[in-house]
Chain A
């Protein structure tokens, strides 16, 4: 890198912008809880937050706090970092299956981003990471002690 052409200042990691329908999810994360929704008519739990059940179309839905338990459903190990992730690369971008059924994208923390360390269906549990003004749900191997991650 030429000194006459310094690298631009690092951009921060993308921070989500809540909408009225998703605000309870982000409020839950700030309180250290993974809050998702379920249908009061058909009982289906679902993610991402929206004011209608995707299984039966009912608008009679409620928020509840999920167990935070999940398994690793699939992932990639990304070598071309998004802005703000330069120091993390290579890093895993994972999709986990919650114990309640729905799947969500997440980061994996407290575990190496290698194929050897990341075995599909391994048990995970939710933890939270600061992101801008918000708290972001991320997942870690269920065996790991939460104290080690703080």
Chain B
């Protein structure tokens, strides 16, 4: 094979997720890293490459762990950064820059322990041309495209509300999910409005937690205690630093672009996919994701979800950990989407799908700013 295989050989989250006021941001990275290294049957001395997002960033994480790496990636493009780290790690392993790469995430998103204060630079484009209009984080910006989509494609408030309803059915099967009680469309529409048309239950959680991965060459697969998860295809893309400059408010060009790259590299079509994770900071994001990846046509995803296709028993299991809407969302959720893809391929998920061969993970960064896609497989191509 001209393009040697790469696997995820270790994957783990922090011991707990949720409200963790006794662990700092760096502490969450350390715990996640230790758990992933142990999951792969390795020690820290085996790690020769590291990728992580600021803060605290790869240098701080590596140093804290006693690692002096030959390869460093600090790509920080929001919640999808970890998918890009996997892509970059695969390239680094193929190039011979490193052999055993650790990717870490830790975020004290809720408790803000050892976390930098959020501060927008008012001389940046977003600071000059969006913040003066009263934006305050993702609830006021990521949400803005939805009304345009609703008008163009007839998505109803009830269909939008069904997205968290479907995902809660998965969360109900997952003891680690933060919210597990079954909810109805009526419950969602009765929850308070955060930013019309979005109700509280259509917005993700805010939690503390972390996760880490070990990426290495596929020819070492037999050296590790867990079944290998093959990285069959990857994609990345960026679109806009400001939601107001999204190319088309009814779709994510970045999702589509990253998806095409990943599917082409893996040599798959949507028909080959048995399990899907789509970053769900808000209820409309899985709708945009399903259409961008080509699982349904433009304007069809709301009905597809509302008809039960993505919930337990449906044809396309989606966000089977419960997603950012019910499982956990530290701020940069992408790591948790990868973790669930890995668990499903290994066959160790809480809400296990029946023997999936292919799991696809779509990550979002910022407010439709960036995208990453991973095609994960049980077997090499």
Scan residues 1-50 of chain A and give those whose CB is less than 8 A from a CB of chain B.
13-19, 22, 47-48
Provide the residues of chain B in CB contact with A79, threshold 8 Å: 192-196
**A80 and B244 contact, CB distance less than 8 A:** no
A124 within 8 A of B: no
Scan residues 168-224 of chain B and give those whose CB is less than 8 A from a CB of chain A.
192-198
The number of chain B residues with a CB under 8 A from chain A is: 36
A82 to B125, CA, bound (A): 18
Q: Which residue of A lies closest to B193 (CB)?
A: A79
A126 within 8 A of B: no
Provide the residues of chain A in CB contact with B147, threshold 8 Å: 74-76, 120
**B129 and A18 contact, CB distance less than 8 A:** no
**Chain-B contact segment, one of A62-70, A88-96, A142-150:** A88-96
Contact of B132 among A14, A19, A48, A73 (CB under 8 A): A14
B270 within 8 A of A: no
Provide the residues of chain B in CB contact with A93, threshold 8 Å: 133-135, 140-141, 144, 195
Q: Give the Cβ gap from B9 to chain A, nearest Cβ, in Å.
A: 42
B73 within 8 A of A: no
A73 to B198, CA, bound (A): 17
Contact with B along A130-149 (1 / 0, CB 8 A): 01000010100000000000
Q: Give the Cβ gap from A101 to chain B, nearest Cβ, in Å.
A: 13
Q: Give the Cβ gap from A91 to chain B, nearest Cβ, in Å.
A: 6
Q: Give the Cβ gap from A137 to chain B, nearest Cβ, in Å.
A: 9
**A103 and B148 contact, CB distance less than 8 A:** no
Given contacts A95-B144, A95-B244, A105-B244, is CB(A80)–CB(B194) below 8 Å?
yes
**A74 and B127 contact, CB distance less than 8 A:** no
A109 to B261, CA, bound (A): 44
A116 to B266, CA, bound (A): 47
Q: Which residue of B lies closest to A26 (CB)?
A: B128
A100 to B144, CA, bound (A): 21
A107 to B120, CA, bound (A): 19
**A18 and B123 contact, CB distance less than 8 A:** yes
Scan residues 126-173 of chain B and give those whose CB is less than 8 A from a CB of chain A.
127-136, 139-141, 143-148, 151
Provide the residues of chain B in CB contact with A107, threshold 8 Å: 133-134
Provide the residues of chain A in CB contact with B125, threshold 8 Å: 48
Tally of A-B Cβ pairs under 8 angstroms: 117
A77 within 8 A of B: yes
Provide the residues of chain B in CB contact with A73, threshold 8 Å: 148, 249
A13 to B134, CA, bound (A): 7
**A81 and B249 contact, CB distance less than 8 A:** no
A110 within 8 A of B: no
Q: Which residue of A lies closest to B152 (CB)?
A: A120
B245 within 8 A of A: yes
A55 within 8 A of B: no
**A115 and B196 contact, CB distance less than 8 A:** yes
B115 within 8 A of A: no
B122 within 8 A of A: yes
A106 to B242, CA, bound (A): 13
The number of chain A residues with a CB under 8 A from chain B is: 39
Q: Give the Cβ gap from B308 to chain A, nearest Cβ, in Å.
A: 28
Q: Which residue of A lies closest to B147 (CB)?
A: A74
A145 to B41, CA, bound (A): 72
Provide the residues of chain A in CB contact with B192, threshold 8 Å: 79
A106 to B145, CA, bound (A): 14
A103 to B144, CA, bound (A): 13
**B196 and A131 contact, CB distance less than 8 A:** no
Contact of A80 among B130, B131, B195, B245 (CB under 8 A): B195
**B129 and A76 contact, CB distance less than 8 A:** no
Given contacts A74-B147, A75-B147, A104-B129, is CB(A85)–CB(B195) below 8 Å?
no
Q: Give the Cβ gap from B211 to chain A, nearest Cβ, in Å.
A: 28
**B195 and A77 contact, CB distance less than 8 A:** yes
A58 within 8 A of B: no
**A76 and B198 contact, CB distance less than 8 A:** yes
**A76 and B131 contact, CB distance less than 8 A:** no
Q: Give the Cβ gap from B248 to chain A, nearest Cβ, in Å.
A: 11
Q: Give the Cβ gap from A147 to chain B, nearest Cβ, in Å.
A: 24
**A48 and B133 contact, CB distance less than 8 A:** no
Q: Give the Cβ gap from A150 to chain B, nearest Cβ, in Å.
A: 20
A22 to B56, CA, bound (A): 32
**A76 and B196 contact, CB distance less than 8 A:** yes
Besides the known contacts A82-B135, A115-B197, 5 further A-B residue pairs in the complex with CB atoms under 8 A apart: A90-B193, A93-B133, A93-B144, A103-B245, A138-B133
What residues make up the interface of B, taking CB atoms closer than 8 Å to A? 120, 122-123, 125, 127-136, 139-141, 143-148, 151, 192-198, 242-245, 249
20 residue pairs bridging A and B, Cβ less than 8 Å apart: A14-B131, A14-B134, A16-B127, A16-B128, A16-B129, A16-B132, A17-B128, A48-B128, A48-B242, A73-B249, A77-B193, A80-B140, A82-B134, A84-B134, A90-B193, A103-B245, A105-B129, A105-B133, A105-B244, A120-B148
What residues make up the interface of A, taking CB atoms closer than 8 Å to B? 13-19, 22, 47-48, 73-85, 88, 90-91, 93-95, 103-107, 115, 120, 131, 136, 138
